[in-house]
Chains A and B, each alone.
Chain A
């Protein structure tokens, strides 16, 4: 009996450790650890930005209510303990939109578009379907960071056309987000806040920003060699009249 329990306990421990490597996150005491940088990077490459139902995919890196910074986990040192934000916890889920590239002069130029996702806390490493609500504009010196503001599918937050309408129904939400995302880096050596904000773009502008960054990503990766050849008269040809391989699925 004792031998059986030892074996069972041992395999349970192995399974638990294996799960933490597989999905990159383990819930411990209600606080999820950040996804490993490699796992997150794989998801950013393997996941499409948009779905056929019009939702936008976001790879969550930091769940709402946590203070773990996944992007600094790689620099945590040999201890492997991720770095923690020295501030209040994230007020909403934070992640990146896959297959996007921020244009010149914006944020992490060439990097994926960041995203704030409203809804219940979502574990790091999750790919969540969302819909655009707006975009928060944060500045750091001359750099502009456009962060998409999205609503997770199934969350109680509705999709409205303007931030103004959203503020009427859910007062304080955007105020909290703007205050947090412009304050978490504190003040600089000059005693002034490191970050500032122009405020929010509305939904229609957010759709444009996300679309521009998807296009920028695709155009950066497609070369002439990737394009199918023209016919002998330098005219385009049809692919086929049959259905494409990504048959519509929900």
Chain B
């Protein structure tokens, strides 16, 4: 567990939760990234505009930490290009069909004690853990495919 960073996790998680609280108290909306990002393309007018502002903010806030805060930001992606494309397609399709992802179900939904979200988080965590188990411990690879 050399790579376990509990303090930055709690602080960063706190910022994420604060953002979710802020969005519901100020704008009355759920901070679900898959729904917001998809709405940038499917919604119209004001509904599209606030979603676009949120997505731009997401990149700007991340860029501020990466470029201005002086924190070393590691990105260690193990997936190959075909793996990333397959993963992106599955994540995009699945999050829309299942009405949410790690943010909308994982943070907002659990915070609201939504039974749908609690079930969804259980299902996607279990499925993802099974995939990692098969790839790493059955197939014995650390990169995909």
Asked if A and B are interacting partners, one says no
Residues of A within 8 A of B (CB): none
Residues of B within 8 A of A (CB): none
